[in-house]
Amino acid sequence: MLSGKHILLGITGGIAAYKTTFLVRLLIKAGADVKVVLTESAATFVSPLTLATLSKNPVHTSFVEEGEEGSVAWNNHVELGLWADLMLVAPATANTLSKMANGTCDNLLLATYLSAKCPVFFAPAMDLDMYKHPSSKASFKKLQSFGNIMIPAASGELASGLHGEGRMAEPEDIVNFLNHHLSKDLPLGQKKVLITAGPTYEAIDPVRFIGNHSSGLMGCELAKRAAQLGAEVILVLGPTHLSLTDSQVQVLRVTSAEEMYQAAHEHYADMDIAICAAAVADYRPKTIADQKIKKQEDEFTIELVKNKDILYSLGRQKKKQFLVGFALETENEVENAKGKLKKKNLDAIVLNSLNDSGAGFGKPTNKITYIDKNLRIKTFDVKTKAAVALDIFNEIIASIHA
């Protein structure tokens, strides 16, 4: 949500200002471009040099700054306000909130706030009795009537030693609040998406397993795309070297088909969309040896039993969910995919053919055919898996809003 966004962070003079170093770091990590404006009192709590280093931008504290050899530079509050995609005042003290609410303009931060045309968020930080005071409540109400968005204070130990409401929201919670708010207007805003991805490994003994060549890349790209479209995502990921760091994506690591089955079913009831992109092993060894099996016989037989069919089971339990499966075929591709679509009670199926160049396991590209429950067929060219993920979600979104 924050990637590529211009965020103007206003820091006021409260003890919670020390947390803004962590906040700037998280915003930068989320892909935002951050500029910081400090009040003079805030600079006594947190170093402008530290914030400038973390944000990789100059930090401003006053309208006029003296440079070397007597030069003077003017910090243009109008340009700062127009530059920002969103402005965040954190911590927002009772003093600054009162000034914001009443149009007082006696420092650079307040002048920038009054010039900003972007959404403005504020995170109050003050002691318990100050937070509850009628004047503070009046400031909160008035600012929200202007369209400003309040990030509620948390309860906890305060600088005074009291315990109660007024503690500034933690940096992680502020970033999550921004992500959640910005996602509301996106195509999958406030939607929950479950994705299974990667292979499963079925143990033979403590050393060996039955598996496949799936890297999990297609499922990971689907998870990233869903998050970019505003969804809250749960990714059930089989054993793979891939990792995903996105505050909108919860990654559940599993190894076997049974573990994937349990994880998918645990969360399925709350989902709006479920996409089963994992290459789940159809069979597993009937017995797993406790010790490594020694090489003795010229021939060795492993008795296999069928794993539970995750997609079929989810289809039987489907209520509100839009359920999508994947089919990897080598012959009679379309007819086999249509059969799976109907048998498993799916809303759509994504067909891969190993006969298509650029498709299959372990490749950065894929070539798909998308078939919906009305048997409408749409074939796409070879694309990167990131682009394929967008194609899939475009089809899903079109169906949901049809």
Query: How open is the CA angle 318-233-400, to the nearest 5 degrees?
Result: 50
Residue-range domains of the chain with CATH: 6-183 (3.40.50.1950), 192-400 (3.40.50.10300)
Please count the CA atoms within 13 angstroms of the CA of 233 that sit on its side-chain side: 30
DSSP for 229-298, written as a single string: TT-EEEEEE-S-S-----TTEEEEE--SHHHHHHHHHHHHTT-SEEEE--B--SEEESS--SSPPP---S
**Nearest residue to 199 (alpha-carbon basis) of 265, 260, 286, 273:** 260
Chunk the chain into consecutive blocks of 10 residues (it has 402) and report each block's average pLDDT, rounded to whole numbers.
91 96 95 95 95 95 72 75 95 97 95 95 94 95 96 85 87 90 86 97 96 94 93 96 84 98 98 97 96 90 96 97 92 93 97 76 88 96 94 96 78
Tokens representing residue 13 in the block: 């003079």
Whether the bond into 91 is cis, omega within 30 of 0: yes
Contact 167, 157 (CB under 8 A): yes
Tokens representing residue 395 in the block: 């089809």
Q: What is the pTM of this model?
A: 0.71
Catalytic annotation, residues:
212
Contact 398, 390 (CB under 8 A): no
What per-residue confidence (pLDDT) applies to 282? 95
Helix, strand, coil shares, percent, the chain, to 5: 35, 25, 40
Rounded to whole angstroms, the Cα distance separating 115 from 85 reads 13
Tokens representing residue 128 in the block: 């318990």
Contact 325, 276 (CB under 8 A): yes
Rounded to whole angstroms, the Cα distance separating 348 from 395 reads 9
Rounded to whole angstroms, the Cα distance separating 344 from 310 reads 10
DSSP for 90-128, written as a single string: EEE-HHHHHHHHHT---SHHHHHHHH--S-EEEEE---H
Tokens representing residue 310 in the block: 């995750």
What per-residue confidence (pLDDT) applies to 1? 74
Contact 87, 112 (CB under 8 A): yes
